[in-house]
Structure 1
Amino acid sequence: MRADPASGIVSGIVSGIVSGTVLEVASAALSEAAERAETRLAELPEPGARTEAERATATEIKDEIRLLRTRFMEAYAEDVHDRLTEGGKRELRVGELVEAAAEAFPGLVPTAAQLAAERDRPQAGKEGREIDQGIFLRAILASPRPGRHLIDAMLRPTPRALRLLPEFLRTGVAEMEAVRLVRDDGVARLTLCRDDCLNAEDGRQVDDMETAVDLALLDPGVRVCLVRGGEMSHPRYRGRRVFSAGINLKSLSSGGISLVDFLLRRELGYLHKIMRGVRVRDGAWHSPFVEKPWVAAVDGFAIGGATQLLLVFDHVLAASDAYFSLPAAKEGIVPGVANLRLTRFAGPRLARQVILTGRRVWASEPDARLLADEIVEPAELDAAVERALARLDGAAVLANRRMLNLADESVDAFRTYMAEFALQQAIRLYSEDVIDKVGKFGAKPGSR
């Protein structure tokens, strides 16, 4: 093995961390090691221009410093979280938490400048700094007290939703780029309206969906909520409703899909709010959450993230010519929390077929009954949706859905899953096979 000054520092700091070095000393040592690692990386060409040997060198440098970050967080996750949140007094969303960590603990996670530089590059040209965010967030979420604190913070209404709430309460309408929200006789109707890209998901869609979910939950005039795809202008589906094509692979290829602001915000934010509700009533003797029943109607298809979304709904309808899929094997990433939830809906065998081999389940198949509550002819879907909304508009529905969700998935089970997901998804985003696959998708004319 080659001699390197950083190697001795790595082993020494690991030893110090494991033996219980105080936080300040360990943090300073980590910062010094991270600075040395950055100096060595800067001596190499940009990621997309490196030779095979240079890529191996870069990997070795990153592995060394990532081992340090992992050991540091294993030893000090609670102390770090207490420092960032003032002992739990500050509730920071996931993006705010990593930003605070970059300021308070240099070298632990990428800085805002480093992330900005990465943001302008295609996925193949990035250094993979989001993996370091994954290391940090895995430790935070895996630790019960910090992890639960972060989950609670993510269940708060967003500032954007609170700004829009008075106008929505007055008009019953909120028009956003990716979602149109209308209150209609006690029903919040969320229509996915990215008509040019088959409702493919990106950062804009996640922000609009969380805003719309917050507004629907916060409005006391809403009793039940519906999500459905709108009519498309995409040439292949012009004039037809489509639910969603899942993650926008063009955005992923171009580097526009963020671990924190898209993949983690999506799961910890609006999907979890649909399931648990929005947290607004601290100190209430009954529950701090405002919840509503949720119905989904699938026209055309629910691909990838769209099928993930269905797993948090109380009632799912689908047109008989629709299909469901989780093309994780094709795209190379982890399909959100579907690996935790799909087994209890569909059983272990079908879940593995769908996730590991990319099996597409058509609504006309018997197995589709495990993914949707009702399969109806396309012409009958509108009427079936209205009947489903009426059935869920009942006084006892909220209490029973809460108990069902607690029985199906405890908050701690979700927290533990999300801890490992934070790191594994980050690693997958920068794996060679994923970069190669999404690069091909991005090159196809009209690809989502």
Structure 2
Amino acid sequence: MKKKYRNITVNIADKIGMLNFNRPEQLNAMNQEMMNEIIDAIKTINANEEVLVAIVQGEGRAFMAGADIKEYGNQSPEEFRSFQERGLELYSAIENAPKPWIAAVNGFALGGGFEIALACDIILASEAAKMGLPEVFLSLVPGGGGTQRLIQKIGINRAKEVLFTGGQYPAKVFHAWGIVNHVYPEEAFKAEVKHFAQKLTRRSPEAIKQLKKLAQLSLSSIPFEQKIEEEGKAVTALFFGDEAKKAIQDFIDKS
């Protein structure tokens, strides 16, 4: 039975799971209810074996303009701690998913919205998109891993600039800095995102799962030799699997 949500929509078709933020009047700002729905949807998509690739995007002019400040600013200490803990669960559910997640950034991706994009494996952006972490304007810092993921992706000096200024950066700047994978014209954005996702659905799901795991492992503090060992285990397991055997034989037969 298809689940009903108030603040998001979920659609699954052609091996692609689409999670859409749907509070356009609030620029998809995230309140507690919306956060809970997003976490539930991510887990549902991750558990669906028919879904090979997931996309998260926003309705209207924004991907997500961060937390709903009206609710966020009035939280009790207990509510604040719960909101932060659930936020970390959200980002982790994307980052540690067994399948690739694509952030389709169509407009503003600020604060927690940008942190969601940073947790994704691929960021595709419209030419109209603007991204940033403006928490400094509220005398705050990002609380969903934004500082650490940003530094991992663009280096400490550029990350400090983004964090210290709190500015909104055009997609083309972040593309040049290596955060955004591709920038597309507004009129072609949805079609290009779908085309990119469809391309990934034609790749081996098990190989993609292992590649994502190994890529994340590269950021860990374990010794380099152990990382190479894990890579060796992955390729060995895949090599002796039925999927690789068939793919290799098909390649040989076509040669």
| Shorter-chain TM-score range | 0.7 to 0.9
The 1:307/1:410 distance shift into structure 2, 3 A limit, reads farther
Q: Which has the higher helix share?
A: 1
1:312-356 CA distance string (max 9 Å, x none): 111111111211110121022221211111112111111001112
Counterpart residue number, 2:93? 273
Deviation, 1:243, is 0.4
Counterpart among 177, 190, 208 of residue 397 in structure 1? 208
Do structure 1's residue 334 and structure 2's residue 141 form an aligned pair? Answer: yes
The aligned runs of 1:248-287 (5 Å cut-off) are: 248-255=68-75, 258-267=79-88, 269-277=89-97
Alpha-carbon distance in 2 for matches of 1:366, 1:302: 12
Alpha-carbon distance in 2 for matches of 1:390, 1:367: 22
1:365-412 CA distance string (max 9 Å, x none): 36654221001110111121012202322112111011101212469x
Q: CA RMSD, aligned part only?
A: 1.9
Counterpart among 322, 328, 334 of residue 129 in structure 2? 322
Alpha-carbon distance in 2 for matches of 1:379, 1:370: 23
Counterpart among 162, 183, 200 of residue 375 in structure 1? 183
Counterpart residue number, 1:215? 44
Alpha-carbon distance in 2 for matches of 1:196, 1:219: 31
The 1:366/1:178 distance shift into structure 2, 3 A limit, reads closer
Q: Which of 389-398 and 182-191 deviates more? A: 389-398
Does structure 2 retain, via aligned residues, the 8 Å contact 1:174–1:180? no
One-letter amino acid of the structure 1 residue matched with residue 12 of structure 2: R
Counterpart among 374, 389, 406 of residue 217 in structure 2? 406
Does structure 2 retain, via aligned residues, the 8 Å contact 1:362–1:368? no
Alpha-carbon distance in 2 for matches of 1:256, 1:371: 35
One-letter amino acid of the structure 2 residue matched with residue 331 of structure 1: L
Counterpart residue number, 2:4? 175
Do structure 1's residue 224 and structure 2's residue 60 form an aligned pair? Answer: no
Alpha-carbon distance in 2 for matches of 1:256, 1:325: 27
SS at 1:372's partner residue? coil
SS at 2:120's partner residue? coil
SS at 1:364's partner residue? helix
Alpha-carbon distance in 2 for matches of 1:301, 1:368: 18
Do structure 1's residue 353 and structure 2's residue 170 form an aligned pair? Answer: no
The aligned runs of 1:14-413 (5 Å cut-off) are: 167=1, 173-231=2-60, 241-255=61-75, 258-267=79-88, 269-277=89-97, 291-335=98-142, 336-365=144-173, 369-393=177-201, 394-395=203-204, 396-409=207-220
Alpha-carbon distance in 2 for matches of 1:202, 1:368: 32
Structure 2: gaps spanning 5 or more residues: 223-255
Q: How many pairs were matched up?
A: 217
Alpha-carbon distance in 2 for matches of 1:354, 1:369: 11
Deviation, 1:177, is 1.2
Alpha-carbon distance in 1 for matches of 2:187, 2:175: 22
Does structure 2 retain, via aligned residues, the 8 Å contact 1:203–1:261? no
Deviation, 1:242, is 1.9
Alpha-carbon distance in 2 for matches of 1:183, 1:408: 31
Alpha-carbon distance in 1 for matches of 2:40, 2:132: 26
SS at 1:196's partner residue? helix
Identity, in percent, stands at 25
Alpha-carbon distance in 2 for matches of 1:299, 1:247: 18
Structure 1: gaps spanning 5 or more residues: 1-166, 168-172, 232-240, 278-290, 412-448
Deviation, 1:302, is 0.4
One-letter amino acid of the structure 2 residue matched with residue 274 of structure 1: I
The 1:176/1:311 distance shift into structure 2, 3 A limit, reads same
Select the structure of larger CA radius of gyration.
1
One-letter amino acid of the structure 1 residue matched with residue 54 of structure 2: C
List, as ranges, runs of 4+ consecutive aligned residues in structure 1 with deviation greater than 4 Å: 366-369
Alpha-carbon distance in 2 for matches of 1:377, 1:349: 29
The 1:220/1:354 distance shift into structure 2, 3 A limit, reads same
Deviation, 1:214, is 0.7
Alpha-carbon distance in 2 for matches of 1:276, 1:365: 27
Deviation, 1:262, is 1.2
